[in-house]
Structure 1
Amino acid sequence: MADGHQSGNQTDIEIPKEVFRLYDAYCHGDLSRRDFFARLSKYAGGAITVSMLAACVMPDYGRAQTATGEADLIEEEIAYSSPDGAGTMGGYLVRPAGATGPLPAILVIHENRGLNPHIRDVTRRAAKAGYVALGPDALYPLGGYPGNDDDGRALQAQRTREEMLADFIAGAEFLRTHEAVNGVVGVTGFCFGGAMANQLAVSLPWLKASVPYYGGWPAGEAAAQLEVPLQIHLASDDPRVNEGWVSYEAALKAAGKPYEAYVYEGTQHGFHNDTTPRFNPEAAALAWGRTLEFFARHLKTG
């Protein structure tokens, strides 16, 4: 897929693939906001302004698939102890209303900008599928997600990866012992959260399943430690992530570790995120369906 198509209120814009690459670099801290807008100018012209291009690739959180306050869900803003990380962490805990007993749980880990509305939406989707779902906010010690992704990225950059990993491990432990949970826990995550889901899979052998979406990889030698069922989702056009997958997959094979991996043709990094034009509805639906089937197989049976 060489280009993306974005429909606006006044015009339809064909977005060059290079614009998505600039956005990806901007999202991951390789470009400043100023440099991102400066480089967008190369692709503007005629009726298409830099501001219009930027608006096409920025997230639109009004596209959520679920809403807060739905009668079939119980939602809470919670705090939990993370002695090896922030000390105290916070998150968004959602579970099905009317459950007659403890349920399995899913930890949902956000991208590199804190617990934004999209990941809250994904957390609700997990709860609607019959799980107790927790979306931790790595920005909680800094005041929480600030309401926009730019400031969220800047805040998250102030925390160390080691501290945040400890906070997510503590979140999994919190779920494991929660009164609404039967002790069975899985994890999923997206981008930065995908990398964390990969790391939790080699750090917490008691997890029952891990489903990382287009995240980074642990060191190759960590593959030998893997005891957790792993299902991986990758975009076909995502060289930054996929380059590392080649060596990590080789390490998994060398260690004889079973895993499932799916590459979605014609998609870009972030294809599951329905708030940006990188969203691919067919691939996202297929990946999420596979995710829920995988969790049902490992969290709801046995």
Structure 2
Amino acid sequence: MAEIVLLHSAQGLRPGVGVAAEVLRSGGHVVRTPDYYDGEIFADVASGLRKRDALGFGEIERRFRRIGEDVTGPVVFAGFSLGAYGAQSLAATHPMARGALLFHGGVAPEGEWPRGVPVQVHYAEHDPWLDVEEIDRLAAAVGPGFERFVYPGERHLFADPGLPDYAPESAALMWKRALDFLTRT
């Protein structure tokens, strides 16, 4: 059983994040879903990105660090899109990090990746919001603890059942793989 901190996308703490948390809890895990967007939820990516830009990356990173300060035991950081960035940042710097699950996002790390902290990344093959070269650099930094799963299509947040991008078959396979990762972490 792992403690998981699951970070939402730029669209806020949508009901789909709660669905994801329940899937992870069904594997016996403790899941926290902190809100770093002041309770605001957005129906579309453009509105969520305006919120992100209004806050600024410095403030968002401060909020991610504050979330990490509440973690006192072994943890897997997970996140969707913008939240994947936060999960990756926390997994790279938090002393209790045991892994990172990055859904629909990931970037090249700024420094060395910590040894023994595995990463699993999930994204759609033609996701217009994702830079595959960034994921390639992340893979190189993580080394043998890196797993990448690419799903058909171009849908960004394909695991959120409340969004038009929802792809149930891809989402089900993603959750199976994520739960397998957690049993090894």
TM over 0.5: yes
- Given the superposition, is the C-alpha separation of residues 251 and 109 from structure 1 closer, same or farther in structure 2, using an over 3 Å criterion? closer
What SS does the corresponding residue of 1:261 show, helix, strand or coil? strand
Q: What amino acid maps onto 1:186 in structure 2?
A: V
In 2: Cα distance, 1:137 partner to 1:251 partner:
26
Shift of 1:269: 1.4
Corresponding letter in the other structure for 2:43? D
d(CA) in 1 for partners of 2:48, 2:138: 34
Which residue is equivalent to 1:225? 113
| Residue of structure 2 in register with 1:111 after alignment | 9
* Deviation per residue, 1:196-247 (Å, 9 max, x gap): 222222222530110101214144x43x233321001010111441xx3324
2:56 pairs with 1:160: yes
Q: What is the alpha-carbon distance in structure 2 between the residues aligned to residue 105 and residue 173 of structure 1?
A: 14
CA positional deviation for 1:262 = 0.8
- Structure 2: state its 5+ residue gaps: none
Q: 1:118 to 1:255 in 2, by over 3 A?
A: closer
Label 1:255 to 1:272 Cα distance change in 2 as closer, same or farther (>3 A). Answer: closer
Q: Gaps spanning 5+ residues in structure 1: where? A: 1-102, 178-182
Q: Which residue of 1 aligns with 2:125?
A: 236
Query: What is the correspondence of 1:70-149 to structure 2 with a 5 Å cutoff?
Result: 104-140=2-38, 144-145=39-40, 148-149=42-43
- Give yes or no for the alignment of 1:188 onto 2:75: no
Question: For this pair of structures, how many residues does the alignment match?
Answer: 182
Q: Is the 8 A contact 1:110 1:189 kept in 2?
A: yes
The SS at the match of 1:158 is helix
Question: How much does 1:122 deviate?
Answer: 1.9
**Counterpart amino acid of residue 249 in structure 1:** D
Q: CA deviation at 1:255?
A: 6.8
Q: CA deviation at 1:131?
A: 1.9
For normalisation by structure 2, the TM-score amounts to 0.83
Aligned to 1:207: 97
Q: What is the aligned counterpart of 1:171 among 45, 50, 67?
A: 67
If you compute each CA radius of gyration, which structure gives the higher value, 1 or 2?
Answer: 1
The structure with more strand, counted as a fraction of residues: 1
Which amino acid in structure 2 is aligned with residue 211 of structure 1? L
Q: Is this contact kept in 2: 1:172–1:185, CA < 8 A?
A: no
For residues 250 and 152 of structure 1, the distance between their equivalents in structure 2, rounded to whole angstroms, comes to 27
Partner of 2:23: helix, strand, or coil? helix
Please list every run of at least 4 consecutive aligned residues from structure 1 whose deviation after the TM superposition is greater than 6 angstroms: none
SS at match of 2:28: coil
Are residues 1:198 and 2:88 paired? yes
Of 244-253 and 209-218, deviating more is 244-253
Q: How high is the sequence identity, in percent, across the aligned residues?
A: 30
Amino acid at match of 1:209: G
- 1:235–1:269 CA contact under 8 A, matched in 2: yes
Q: Deviations over 1:158-217 (max 9, x none)?
A: 21223222322332331x33xxxxx22111111111222222222225301101012141
Higher RCO (CA-CA < 8 Å; seq separation 6+): 2
Pick from 156, 162, 169 the counterpart of residue 269 of structure 1: 156
Supply the distance in 1 between the matched residues of 2:95 and 2:132 (Cα, whole angstroms). Answer: 21
Instruction: Give the direction of change, closer, same or farther, for the CA distance of 1:155–1:251 in structure 2 (3 Å limit).
Output: closer
